[in-house]
Structure 1
Amino acid sequence: MRLVRESDIEDLALGAVVLGTGGGGDPLIAKIMLRQAIERHGPVRVISAGEIDPDGLVLPIGMIGAPTVIVEKFPSGDEARTVLHAMEARLGRTGVAIMPMEIGGMNSLFPLAVAAELGLPVVDADFMRRAFPQLEMTLLTLAEVPASPAALCDTKGNSVLFEAVDNRMSERLLRASVAEMGMIAVFSAYPMTASQVERHAATGSLTLCHEIGRSLTAIQASAPGAYERFLAVSDAVILFSGKVLDIERRTTAGWARGTVALEHLDQPDRVMRVEIQNENLIALEDGEPVATVPDLISLIDIETGIPMTTEALRYGQRLHVIGMPAEHRWHTPEGIALAGPRAFGYDLDYFPIRRDR
C-alpha cells in the first residue's frame, strides 16, 4: 500500500477498529474527513521511515479524550495545523512527514487526512500497533524516547504546549488539559527523527491495518474461507461467541470506562465479561482471565462482520470476542509492567491468550 485512495478508506477503517481493540475513536468522522481531503488533494502517500532523511522530523498526530464524546464533538479542521505549527516552532524545524500515534478507529485515519491537507507523506508505523488509553503506554517509552514537547488544541481554538520530566507526567498534564477542553482535543507528542521511528516504533502498522480490513470486507461479502483468512492475517483466535446481556458505561477523569457481559450462544451457562477503559482491556469467563492487556481483545458482530468500537456496543448484539497477540516487545517484563493489567489497576497478572478454546 503506497497510496491511500478513496477505495482504501473502508478497509482501513475496519482494520483500525480491530487493531484499536474498540478504542481510538469512532472512525465515521475521520472517514468523512479523509474522503474530503483525498477529493481535494489527491491520494495520500504512505512511506517507510527508511525512505526519509534519517534526521528528518516526523510529527505524530492524533485525537485524545473519551470515545463517547468524540461521536458528538469532532474537530473543526484547524486544530491539527495549530498543534503541528506549535511543535515546529518549539523545535525550530519543519516536519517532513506525519505519523499515526496509535492504530485505532479514528486515530489511524485522522493523520492521513491531516497529511493530505498539508501535502506530506505518512509513515507506515505507529507507537504500539494497537490503541492504549494512556500517553506513556508506548514502545517509545520502553526505548526511553520522551513524549514531550507535546501540544494540544481543542475545537474552540484553545491550545497548550508543554514539556514534562517524564512520559508519565506528560500523560497527567495532557489528561488534565483535555478534561478542561471538554474531553476531546487534537494533539501531537513524541516528535522524532526518521531514524528513531525506524528503530523504536511499530513499523508496517497501516499496511497490516489495510490487510485486516480487506479480510473483513471479504467476510461481509460471504467469500469462501474469509473468516479463516481474517484469523490468519491477524494471528487471532475466537475466544468466545455470545450475545450482549448487559453494558455498563461511565465517563470519568477523561476516560470512557465500562463493562460488557456476554452470554455464550450455545452454552448459556457460560458468561464472559470484558473490561473497558477506552479500549477492551481484559476478558474473563466466569471470573477467570482468558486474555489481558497488552494483548488485543476485539469484538466483531457475527452477523455483519463489523468490528465494534466500545461506544457502539448495544444490548442483544451477537459478537465474536477475538484475541490477538501484542507486538513482541509488549511481552517483555518491561512491556507488561508498563501496559499489563496491573498498570490499569487490576489485581491480576498478565495472562497469555488461550488458543485451545
Structure 2
Amino acid sequence: MSKPDLRSDAGFLVEEPDLLPLALGCAILGTGGGGNPYLGMLRARELLRQGAQVRVIPFEALDDEAWVYALGGIGAPVVGVEKIKRGDECLRAMRAIEARTGKTASALISEEIGGSNGIEPIATAAQAGLPVLDGDGMGRAFPEVQMTTFFVYGQECSPAAVADDKGNVVTFDPVDTMHRLEALARAVTVQMGGGAGMCTAPMSMGFIRRAALPGTVTQALSIGRAILDARRTHADVLDRLLLAADATLLFTGKVTGVTRELKGGFSVGSVQVQGDAEYNGSTADVAIQNENLVLWIDGAVRVCVPDLIMLVERETGEPITTELVKYGLSIAIIGMPAHALLKTPEALKIMGPAAFGYPGIDFDAHRL
C-alpha cells in the first residue's frame, strides 16, 4: 500500500517549541521509565532543524487497511543515559520488518508514550517521511515487550526486529508467544550492550482502532505545557500538574534511600522516602523495574500497576526518572488511573501486580 494522501488539516505538524513540553509530558506518563526523554528530544530537534516535517494525526485520518508500525527503544533506562544511540536504530528495525512482510508503513505509533519512547516515533517518522498516530499501546511505560494493549488484544508475535548502534539487525520470525518474543529480544539487547531499537509486527489501522489508546501524544503535550506555563507565571506547579494530568497527590517528602542494579536487561530496585511535615513520621517505598511499580505508605500498598505512579520535584514539577532519582531530592509522588484497556482481566494477567512478582497484591483493592 502506498503512503496515504493526508489532508493538510489532518492533525498537526510538530514544531520545535512542541518538543520540550512533549518531553516533559512523556516523562510524567513514563512513570519513571521509557528512557530519558531529554536525549530523545535533542535527536528530534536536530532532525526538525535539518528540515524534516512530522505530522501527528488522529486515528480517523487513515483507512482500516493502512499498515501501522509500533516501535521504541528496548533496554534499561540507565544504559540509555550512558550509551548514546546512533539515531536510526528503530528505522532500521522497521525497514527489516517491511522487507520481511512486504507491508509498507503508512504511519508509526509508539509502543509506549512514556519517556523517550514517546518521542522515538517522531524521530523515526522524520527519517522515514511518515506521520505519527496520536496514541500508543500503554498510556504510560512498562518494562517488557509484551506489556502493550497491542499484544493483549491480538497483535502477531512476529516478525519483530531489534537494531543496535553498530549496524546490527536481528529479526525474530517465527515466534510462538509474546512472552517468548520478550525473552529473545531481551537476550539479544543485552548482547547489544543493554539498549537497542525495536519494531514489532505490522498492524492494520482497523486493529489499532480497537486496541490502541487514542490521544496520548496530545495528552503528553498538554501536561508538559501546563508545567511550563506554571513555571513561567510563578503559579503552583504541582497544582497545575495535578489538574492537567487529572492526577492525585499521594505523598510528599525527601528521598532517603535508593537501591538500583542492572539485572537481566532491567534496572531494578527501590526508593525510600521520608514524609515531610504534612506526612510527619510516615514513610513511602516505591518498587521499580525500569518504571515505578508499587507504592507502599507506612508498609501498606497504596497504588500498584497498571495505575501510574510518578515521582516529580516538589517545586518545579520536573519528572524524576528511575535512573536519576537520588538521595536528598524533595519530591511529590502522584498517581493516575490507567486506561480502561489496561484494567480488563486479560490485560491484568500481563501487566498487573502478579506479572511483576507481586501475586499477593490485588489491583482492584488499590486502584485509583
| TM-score computed with the length of structure 2 as normaliser | 0.93
Please point out which of 348, 356, 361 is paired with 1:348: 361
What's the offset of the Cα at 1:57? 1.2
Range that drifts further, 276-285 or 216-225: 216-225
State percent identity of aligned pairs. 40
Q: Count how many residue pairs are aligned between Structure 1 and Structure 2.
A: 355
Q: What is the match of residue 237 of structure 1?
A: 248
Please point out which of 221, 227, 232 is paired with 2:232: 221
Tell me, yes or no, if the aligned pair for 1:292 and 1:352 is still in contact at 8 Å. Answer: no
Is the aligned partner of 1:320 residue 2:351? no
Tell me, yes or no, if the aligned pair for 2:36 and 2:115 is still in contact at 8 Å. Answer: yes
What's the offset of the Cα at 1:79? 2.1
Is the aligned partner of 1:20 residue 2:30? yes
Please point out which of 85, 106, 130 is paired with 2:95: 85
1:55-74 correspondence runs (5 A):
55-74=65-84
Is the aligned partner of 1:271 residue 2:283? yes
What's the offset of the Cα at 1:352? 5.3
Tell me, yes or no, if the aligned pair for 2:73 and 2:90 is still in contact at 8 Å. Answer: no
What's the offset of the Cα at 1:333? 2.0
Is the aligned partner of 1:292 residue 2:289? no
Please point out which of 254, 257, 278 is paired with 1:246: 257
Is the aligned partner of 1:2 residue 2:9? no
**Amino acid aligned to 1:98:** L
State the distance in 2 between where 1:121 and 1:330 align: 26
Is the aligned partner of 1:94 residue 2:104? yes
1:328-339 correspondence runs (5 A):
328-339=340-351
State the distance in 1 between where 2:305 and 2:91 align: 33
Unaligned runs of 5+ in 2: 1-10
Q: What is the match of residue 214 of structure 2?
A: 203
Tell me, yes or no, if the aligned pair for 1:295 and 1:353 is still in contact at 8 Å. Answer: no
**Amino acid aligned to 1:142:** V
Q: How big is each residue's C-alpha offset from its partner over 1:212-265, in whole Å with a ceiling of 9 and x where there is no partner?
A: 111111232244465434223312101000100000000010100010000001
| Structure 1 pair 325–353 and aligned structure 2 pair: CA distance change class (3 A) | farther
Is the aligned partner of 1:281 residue 2:293? yes
Q: How big is each residue's C-alpha offset from its partner over 1:59-89, in whole Å with a ceiling of 9 and x where there is no partner?
A: 1111000001000112213323321111101
State the distance in 1 between where 2:109 and 2:150 align: 14
State the distance in 2 between where 1:126 and 1:205 align: 7
Q: How big is each residue's C-alpha offset from its partner over 1:319-350, in whole Å with a ceiling of 9 and x where there is no partner?
A: 11001000012222222222111110013221
**Amino acid aligned to 2:164:** D
State the distance in 1 between where 2:237 and 2:271 align: 27
What's the offset of the Cα at 1:55? 1.1
Is the aligned partner of 1:36 residue 2:36? no
| Structure 1 pair 340–81 and aligned structure 2 pair: CA distance change class (3 A) | closer
State the distance in 1 between where 2:12 and 2:23 align: 17
- Where 1:24 maps in the other structure, the secondary structure is coil
In angstroms, what is the RMSD of aligned CA positions? Answer: 1.6
| TM-score computed with the length of structure 1 as normaliser | 0.95
Range that drifts further, 227-236 or 9-18: 227-236
| Structure 1 pair 93–335 and aligned structure 2 pair: CA distance change class (3 A) | closer
Q: What is the match of residue 6 of structure 2?
A: none
Tell me, yes or no, if the aligned pair for 2:34 and 2:141 is still in contact at 8 Å. Answer: yes
Moved over 6 A (4+): none
**Amino acid aligned to 2:269:** G
Q: How big is each residue's C-alpha offset from its partner over 1:133-170, in whole Å with a ceiling of 9 and x where there is no partner?
A: 11111112221222321101111112110131121111
Range that drifts further, 65-74 or 338-347: 338-347
**Amino acid aligned to 1:308:** I
State the distance in 2 between where 1:78 and 1:329 align: 31
Tell me, yes or no, if the aligned pair for 1:55 and 1:195 is still in contact at 8 Å. Answer: yes
**Amino acid aligned to 1:252:** K
Q: What is the match of residue 121 of structure 2?
A: 111
Q: What is the match of residue 186 of structure 1?
A: 197
Tell me, yes or no, if the aligned pair for 1:49 and 1:195 is still in contact at 8 Å. Answer: no
| Structure 1 pair 82–224 and aligned structure 2 pair: CA distance change class (3 A) | closer
- Where 1:311 maps in the other structure, the secondary structure is coil
**Amino acid aligned to 2:232:** A
What's the offset of the Cα at 1:351? 5.1
Q: How big is each residue's C-alpha offset from its partner over 1:163-208, in whole Å with a ceiling of 9 and x where there is no partner?
A: 3112111111111111111110011014211111112111111011
